[in-house]
Structure 1
């Protein structure tokens, strides 16, 4: 009898934690999007095409963008924790969680180091771009590995995750080949792909407590 009475309460606790993780992830994505547009409007004017996110974070909008990126880091950690709570079997799901935590660590390093080759710190340009390269490689695995375990749950999630993974795989390398006047736009396309996956993962977690 005791086990019967306590089981529903424990279930509600687990669901509430998953819901909070999803809300935190979704909110962090919205905040970083608003921060980018706010910085472009207030400080950089119409710099969304020509100015990369890194350039804005190194300029007058550093406080806004760095804060938003750190909030995003917290949101990614929350998403990883929420996905971990789903307890899906297999090594791919665990790899997705580890990769998300690595992505969070890289973004935190980019925001906290706050150097973009402006000469303040020796070799800072190389350090920054090494982080960007690592981010590109590691995040590629996230949607592709997650898609495998999402297929039995919802075919739309499976297809969406694969599509975003393929789009990221194509858009990432292109960022380093486009003219300077357009690199900001392509970087935002790539960032948008990542945010779309994170938003999808957040909504997935938000809906879990309802069993849908």
Structure 2
């Protein structure tokens, strides 16, 4: 007869990590990191996109806009996957929780960025301040707060993780600020470097959850 307390049994079940969930979310995260790189390259090759001057959003206009929109949606799916994995395998306190919400909100904002390119000039917005443009301002604090908030929790994974996360925040804030202040002739390259910098947060996080899930899936325990 099992005389374990029902509440203790329930707590054990809730706290148990599912390796298949971690690996699925990690793969989604990896795809979400790679997809924008592929679609930016693809879009540049099949359109008249000026890589240095034109922004990523410029790729989401015209007859080939679906290419960059696909990159937006896959990236959003990857961010959501990382949010789920981070919540499932919670590695910190309040800071880690803040990072989870940043990932989730980023997934929402990136999805809306893809959707609102369809209606880029819609509404009563003045020129240069469309709904799409307004949404981009939400990226600033989210991509800065997310890695900074998760850096302390990531220290328990390995010393390189907080270094990557802090570097992601630093690169983002420097180049995103430069993007807003620099002449439009250099908008595109500054924005692409800023977005690339964020991958120093999301890519290591994806790899970590993939490895963690793999190790847990192949670990033999007495309860297996």
TM-score, normalised via structure 2 length: 0.83
Residue pairs, 1:58-137, within 5 angstroms: 58-114=61-117, 119-123=121-125, 125-126=128-129, 127-137=131-141
Equivalent position of 1:153 in the other structure: 157
1:41-66: per-residue Cα shift (whole Å, max 9, x none)? Answer: 01125x21111101111233211111
**Shift of residue 164 of structure 1?**
1.3
Task: Report 1 or 2 for greater relative contact order, CA contacts < 8 Å, sequence distance ≥ 6.
Answer: 1
User: Which one of 175, 199, 204 corresponds to residue 208 of structure 2?
Assistant: 204
1:174 aligned onto 2:178: yes
Inter-partner Cα distance in structure 2 for 1:104 and 1:141: 15
Matches of 2:46 and 2:28, distance apart in 1: 26
Q: Which has the larger radius of gyration?
A: 2
Report the more deviating stretch, 127-136 or 34-43. 127-136
Shift of 1:196: 3.1
| TM-score normalized by the length of structure 1 | 0.87
Contact 1:50–1:185 (Cα < 8 Å) also in 2 = yes
The ranges of structure 1 where at least 4 consecutive aligned residues each deviate by more than 6 angstroms after the TM superposition are none
Counting matched residue pairs gives: 204
SS of 2:181's partner is: coil
Cα separation, partners in 2 of 1:58 and 1:121, compared to 1, 3 Å: farther
Deviates more, 1:72-81 or 1:124-133: 124-133
Q: Residue 155 of structure 2 contacts residue 161 of structure 2 at CA under 8 Å; is this kept in 1?
A: yes
**What secondary structure is seen at the aligned counterpart in 1 of 2:114?**
helix
Aligned match of 2:51? 48
Report deviation, 1:120: 4.6
Contact 1:168/1:194 (CA < 8 Å) preserved in 2? yes
Matched, 1:22 2:23: no
Contact 2:92 2:152 in 1 (8 A): no
Larger helix proportion, structure 1 or 2? 1
Deviation at 1:103, TM superposition (A): 0.8
In the TM superposition, residue 140 of structure 1 has moved relative to its aligned partner by 0.5
Deviates further, 140-149 or 196-205: 196-205
Unaligned runs of 5+ in 2: 5-11, 217-224
Q: Does 1:142 align with 2:143?
A: no
Structure 1 unaligned regions, length at least 5: none
User: Within 2, Cα distance between the matches of 1:160 and 1:198?
Assistant: 10
Q: Secondary structure at the match of 1:175?
A: helix
Partner of 2:222: none
